[in-house]
Amino acid sequence: MTIYDWPTGPYPARVRIALAEKNLRSRVEFVSVNLWSGEHKKAEHLARNYSGTLPVLELDDRTFIGECTAITEYLDALDGTPTLTGTTPREKGVIHMMNKRAELELLDAISVYFHHATPGLGPDVETYQNAEWGFRQRDKALRGMHYFDGVLKTRPFVAGGEFSMADITVIGGLIFAGLVELRIPAECEALQAWWAKMQARPSVKNRVTMSEQADAVV
Amino acid sequence: MTIYDWPTGPYPARVRIALAEKNLRSRVEFVSVNLWSGEHKKAEHLARNYSGTLPVLELDDRTFIGECTAITEYLDALDGTPTLTGTTPREKGVIHMMNKRAELELLDAISVYFHHATPGLGPDVETYQNAEWGFRQRDKALRGMHYFDGVLKTRPFVAGGEFSMADITVIGGLIFAGLVELRIPAECEALQAWWAKMQARPSVKNRVTMSEQADAVV
């Protein structure tokens, strides 16, 4: 399998964490698509993924799978023993709901803020910006932090008693929040405590190798 | 099971179609949440779904499941024989990718257009609008129609050889397109032909009863 990504990106992080959780990292070859020079919006990458986003998984039969949730579903099903996407109907439903909510209310909102109300990837890549919309999405993400704090007051993980794809998506959100210097509000103690635990998790901590980290600095 | 929805809404349509495809309609009681009076944004509904969207499924144990993809995952898993969300890892991956792409590039884009660049649900509900963003999303949805036309030139259904959740999401998009009078471009012949077939499918054709249709007219 090949994964096209950018090592330090928050969306790529979701798939890297899933890979590590499933012990699949050694089966994957990574190919860098440089976000900062807008390679993800050029024809070569658009042929892999119409939406022009990262990461994209390429299977050995040359099928391209884009979208983190889709890639995670694929990876989690490979060994016949799903641990990230649920096994019972209720688990699947709740995990997918919380995963989507983490996108809508946190990760995607911060992404829109970054691309529209900050310099984002720079003027060559950000050819259209809508700052007003970007700032609204930032405020939505801050409300989202309070929401997930409330959730994590009642249970150890985002979708219940076990780590799941939904945790990974909130982790992606907080990685992005760090990049844009959006702090978790001090009063969100349950979210802070959960985030400290997640950052110590090997799949999260080791998602980027030291040499990738060095290469990714522009 | 209880489903909170608004019978003629494009997102509710996705779950109604999934219910019919899975022969589960008789096991569900519907409760109307009036979109046009903004009931979905009021405390009673926000307690069911933080994001304030429809539909929401309530299980007999009082668990609420929001988000169409999550509800579809739940319903499709109930009988142990998934027919909408895939069985092999590759099927799951491709269906989830195309499902998400149908949201991003079509359905959600049209929804943003409706809520931001048209009167939407009226001034009492649409308390903030960003018309420029709305029109951009309309244009994105029109490009999305061309993209799905290209896909449907190469295969009978959105995610491959079989009807799936991804078809349902494109159907939701075209239902919404109809409501906002966004026409499928004439040159998109494969999409037009697929849409004609989908509209004749019983799960799609009969998704709203005649009495619901009458009640939904405001």
Q: Which amino acid is at B4?
A: Y
Reply yes or no: is the peptide bond before residue A89 cis, omega within 30 of 0.
no
Tokens for A157, please give them: 């993980």
pLDDT of the residue at B26: 96
Measured CA to CA in angstroms, residue A158 lies from A99, A110, A147, A172, A198 at distances of 9, 18, 11, 13, 11
pLDDT of the residue at A217: 64
Question: What residues have CB less than 8 Å from A24, skipping those under 6 apart?
Answer: A1, A75, A78
In DSSP terms, which residues pair with A5 in a beta bridge? A32
pLDDT of the residue at A214: 82
Could you tell me if A69 lies within 8 Å of chain B, comparing CB atoms? yes
Give the whole-number percent of chain A exceeding pLDDT 70. Answer: 99
Above 60 in pLDDT, residue B211? yes
Distance in Å, alpha carbon of B101 to nearest chain A alpha carbon: 7
pLDDT of the residue at B217: 64
Please give the Cα distance from A16 to A70 (Å, whole number). Answer: 14
Contact state of A101 with B51 under an 8 Å Cβ cutoff: yes
Measured CA to CA in angstroms, residue B104 lies from A160, B137, B216 at distances of 27, 10, 27
> Which of B93, B96, B52, B47 minimizes the C-alpha distance to B70?
B96
Contact state of A147 with B50 under an 8 Å Cβ cutoff: yes
Question: What residues have CB less than 8 Å from A79, skipping those under 6 apart?
Answer: A22
pLDDT of the residue at A215: 79
Query: Would the pTM of this model clear 0.90, i.e. be above it?
Result: yes
Tell me the pLDDT tens digit for each residue of B115-151.
Answer: 999 999 999 999 999 999 999 999 999 999 999 999 9
Give the whole-number percent of chain A exceeding pLDDT 90. Answer: 95
Could you tell me if A62 lies within 8 Å of chain B, comparing CB atoms? no
CB-CB contact of B50 with A147 (8 Å) = yes
Distance in Å, alpha carbon of B95 to nearest chain A alpha carbon: 8
DSSP A32: E
At residue A84's C-alpha, the angle toward residues A8 and B81, to 5°, is: 135
Under the banding of pLDDT at 50, 70 and 90, the label for residue B21 is: very high
Within 8 A of B89 by CB-CB distance, chain A residues are 73-75, 77-78
Question: What residues have CB less than 8 Å from A104, skipping those under 6 apart?
Answer: B51
Residue of A63, A101, A128 lying closest to B67 (CB–CB): A101
- Domains of chain B in sequence order: 2-83+205-213 (3.40.30.10), 89-202 (1.20.1050.10)
> Which of B33, B23, B37, B22 minimizes the C-alpha distance to B55?
B33
Rounded to an integer, the average pLDDT of A161-177 is: 98
Please give the Cα distance from B120 to A185 (Å, whole number). Answer: 34
Contact state of A73 with B67 under an 8 Å Cβ cutoff: no
Tell me the pLDDT tens digit for each residue of B61-102.
Answer: 999 999 999 999 999 999 999 999 999 999 999 999 999 999
> Which of A203, A200, A195, A153 minimizes the C-alpha distance to A177?
A195
> Which of A70, A66, A68 minimizes the C-alpha distance to A52?
A66
Could you tell me if A143 lies within 8 Å of chain B, comparing CB atoms? no
Tell me the pLDDT tens digit for each residue of B136-146.
Answer: 999 999 999 99
Rg (CA), chain B: 17
Q: Is B90 exposed, middle or buried (0-12, 13-18, 19+ CB in 10 A)?
A: middle
Helix H or strand E segment including A77: helix A68-77
